[in-house]
Amino acid sequence: MLSLFEANNAEEWDYKGEGAANVIVLYCGTLPNFVGKVLRVKKAPQKFLKDNHLRNKAPVLSVEEQSIWSDWQEVVAANSKEILAQAYVQHAIGPLLGSEYVDPGILIRVSEGFLEALEQKISNKRPAWRIEAAKIDLQSDFALIMSDHSLFLRGPNDTAPCISIEIKPKCGFLPSSRFISAENHIKRLVSRFAMHQHLKFSQKEISCISKYSPLDLFSESRDRIHRAIEGLFETPQNNLRIFWNGSLVFGGLGGYAEQGLCNGPTINSLARELEDTLKSVILCQSGERVAIFKDLVTETLLRTRILSHLLAVQKMDLYDIEGAIHAYFNVIQVPCHICPHSVSEAGNLNEAENIEINPDEPIEKDMQENNSDLHFPSSITESLSEEHMEKHTQGNFSYLHSSKNECSHLHSLSIEESRRIVRDFLLATTAKDCSLMLTFQPMAHDFTEVNALDRNDVIYMSSTKQAFHYKATFIDLDLKRLKKMNHYYDLDQNIVNCYTRTREGTTL
């Protein structure tokens, strides 16, 4: 563990970005141990800041959560949120995605004085709505130091620029769980992302509907992946960001700050600026650089098949939230309040029999094929077994059985099976909510296509006769807490209800 920070070290760190739970600051000093690194510092909601003495006495994981994550004792034993975050990435989600694609970080001890000084230094750079929601948690004893994945570590003579793209892929498949209710059959036909856009639009969180399709991005089809990338560039929202030598040049900070990024002139202006920025990376005529960069991203996703790793973990959600919520109530051992409201009327079931699948939607590959190259713990391997899948995912429309019987089936499961269902759902939820960072650096001009064939970290673009060193990293791999299961269920119902009303023309 690296040594304790002093307050004056805060001057050597600068704001880079933040999510709901953490602030990311970039090291700008000269100490070798920290060059090319970022620090992930925990935030605390404003309403909890006065109750730190209560929060710090509570264990990180509840007793029920400890039973869910018992396959990974490092996760169970975590006594701070920072230790938990590192252990979860290193021992649980990381091996599922591929350890070479994740960075669990290094724990570093921080002082309250350092955190106070850092809070003051970066406050004028944080979005106002983020500040209103949360501040740096001054009671944290640790932070996580990790590589800045928008950069390559530079040697003393290395002056080649770096360009990186951060994508939030979202859920890349259509669910086929038999526990999806008849009235929610639309979930089998339309992606979660597409439906969620309508809810966000109705709540004025976004000013336009995204043109991005996760189903295209995960399709392994060159044309469809390219179409997905085009959609992200046209409507980036908080799903696309581009960094030049570590500095943000396209996209934004997320949330309400992104409403302007649906504006056509704004996007066109940013695209022109990006075209100029790329001139020292993409060697071609002006006006073609952004298009070739999109091709570079497409080729990298095709060659690495990194999204197949992500999709495999996403598909660990065999039951959908509509099934997993019942297992959750089994785990916490309280009466299920969903069941009385989940029994479908016969009329709804009859209507569902007339559903037709859209032939333009992709036919999802068998889950086991997607998982064939991954090495899971024995308990997870069992949940992906052919017998287990056949038992719980029979047919695309086996949900036409009585919902009441399905609820009874779920509530008759053992506590061990219920824990496994919830655990796999939470792992899949992490995979549906993470980001993928692709970072590129042009190679020397004498690096040929033949040379590139011998390297698994180089992409050659014949259109510009250039080779690019690249790396791929999954980030934002946060453990999802058990107490959010009700929230996930309610959000799912709100998304479907809003989309259904929109399609019927009753609201927009």
Residue scoring higher pLDDT (147 or 363): 147
| Band of residue 268 on the pLDDT scale cut at 50, 70, 90 | confident
Q: Name residue 372's amino acid.
A: S
Residue scoring higher pLDDT (332 or 345): 332
C-alpha distances out from residue 139 to 82, 124, 142, 156, 361, Å: 12, 22, 9, 38, 49
In this prediction, residue 403 carries a pLDDT of 60
Per residue in 124-177, pLDDT (tens digit) is: 999 888 888 899 999 888 999 999 999 987 654 467 899 999 999 999 999 999
C-alpha distances out from residue 407 to 36, 194, 319, 410, Å: 52, 28, 12, 5
- 477 close to 93: Cβ distance less than 8 angstroms: yes
Per residue in 54-100, pLDDT (tens digit) is: 455 557 999 999 999 999 999 999 999 999 999 999 999 999 999 99
Arithmetic mean of pLDDT, 386-391: 46
> 3-class DSSP state for residue 218?
coil
| Band of residue 328 on the pLDDT scale cut at 50, 70, 90 | very high
Q: Provide the greatest CA pair distance for the chain.
A: 72
| Band of residue 308 on the pLDDT scale cut at 50, 70, 90 | very high
* Short-list 447, 423, 433, CA closest to 172: 433
> Any alpha helices (H) in 20-122, and if so which ranges?
52-55, 63-68, 73-76, 81-87, 94-97, 112-122
Domain with CATH 3.30.200.110 in the chain: 7-147
Cα dihedral value 343, 346, 348, 354, nearest 10: 130
Q: How many helices (H) and strands (E) does the chain have?
A: 22, 12
How many other CB atoms are found less than 10 A from the CB of residue 404? Answer: 12
Looking at the DSSP bridge assignments, the partners of residue 39 are 25, 145
Per residue in 432-482, pLDDT (tens digit) is: 999 999 999 998 776 666 666 667 899 999 999 999 999 999 999 999 999
Q: Note the residue count of the chain.
A: 508
| Band of residue 370 on the pLDDT scale cut at 50, 70, 90 | very low
CATH class given for the domain over 7-147: alpha beta
| % of the chain at pLDDT higher than 90 | 62
> What is the rounded CA–CA span in Å between residue 476 and residue 211?
23
In this prediction, residue 455 carries a pLDDT of 79
